[in-house]
Amino acid sequence: MRITPNNTATLVSELNRLNAQQANVSAQIASGSRLTSLASDPSAAGQSAQMTGALQSADSFIQTSATVVNRMQAADSALGSVVSSITSAISVAVQGSNVTMSASNLRSIAQQLTGIRDQVLSLANASYQGAYLFAGTSGTSQPFTLQSDGSVTYSGDGNAQQVSTADGVSLATSVSGATVFGSGGPQDVFAVLNSLIQQFASGNITNVADGVATLRTAFDGITSGRSTLDASINRLNSATDATTAQKTSLKVAQTSLLAANTAELATEFSATETQRTALMSVISVVQKGSLFDYL
């Protein structure tokens, strides 16, 4: 048999190929993944990249949702306290509408109602992590301000904050102060409270019953706003649960897509090693002595 330099180069090239194949099999066994590079399986690599993007979106939404739900729960707690305060105001006003009350007692009731108004004002300006809860989308600015004449003005907007789910669906995550406290409208909580305060302070309680009725209507607006917020919390929690389940499914699918078949790889490694050993023996023989020995 004539051995030429080309024969030797071919043998060495084949050995390099087997070395590379064995290294690739070893890498798959060590990592547990059949994709050691994009070239291993471009289609699977593309699918995996899409799954990774979806998983990142899911993680982002889940993290955002946790923060937003905490903020919404803080708002719900504040509205719960407002409901208690308004309930107290209605009770105090009804008791004070008794015509046998002395002027001193009426002034005391006016002071109680003033204290309740200030409590409600403080709750209406509640914040979470530096953002006001009832300012609409103007979360960095205090929404309610007590003026020198006792009136309360609203400087937020009437919009609800939104969050997008991992699937791109927008969910409302707040109720604005304009909506919940009836700012500027006939059921403006602060305007109604101030009207009652003025009536009791002046001793003229003729229209207290009308004021109480209006305050009850304003109370209904607050409880309605709280119900809207609670429903939004439930929707966001449901979306978070669905995204978490989707994330779990994606992880399983991606693992299945990338997982190496260790049994097949072990067989391939063994076969490749056998070929390498045989080839190295041939090369060893070829490289002994001069090529002229084989002419």
Q: Does any domain span residue 12? A: no
Q: Does any domain span residue 158? A: yes
CB 280 within 8 A of CB 8: no
CB 136 within 8 A of CB 160: yes
Contacts of 286 (CB under 8 A, 6+ apart): 3, 7, 8, 11, 294
Whole-number percent of the chain with pLDDT over 90: 62
Q: What is the mean pLDDT of residues 180-203?
A: 94
Q: What is the mean pLDDT of residues 226-246?
A: 95
Q: Does any domain span residue 59? A: no
Contacts of 101 (CB under 8 A, 6+ apart): 109, 205
CA distance 209 to 211: 5
CA distance 229 to 220: 14
CA distance 173 to 209: 36
Chain-centroid distance of CA 164 in Å reads 8
Lowest mean pLDDT among 3-12, 134-143, 248-257, 268-277: 3-12
Provide the residue range defining the domain that includes 154. Answer: 79-253
Phi, psi of 113 (to 5 degrees): -65, -35
CA distance 265 to 111: 84
Q: Does any domain span residue 125? A: yes
CB 95 within 8 A of CB 112: no
Q: Does any domain span residue 265? A: no
pTM of the entire predicted model: 0.76
Q: How many domains would you assign to the chain?
A: 1
Q: What is the mean pLDDT of residues 178-183?
A: 93
Q: What is the mean pLDDT of residues 93-115?
A: 92
* Mean per-residue pLDDT over the chain, rounded: 86
Cβ neighbour number for residue 159 with a 10 Å cutoff: 15
Q: Does any domain span residue 198? A: yes
Q: Does any domain span residue 134? A: yes
pLDDT for the residue 275 = 77
CATH (domain of 83): 1.20.1330.10
Q: What is the mean pLDDT of residues 134-138?
A: 93
C-alpha distances (whole Å) from 291 to each of 11, 60, 185, 203, 286 are 15, 67, 105, 125, 8
pLDDT for the residue 264 = 65
Q: Does any domain span residue 31? A: no
Q: CA torsion sign, 116 to 117 to 120 to 126?
A: negative
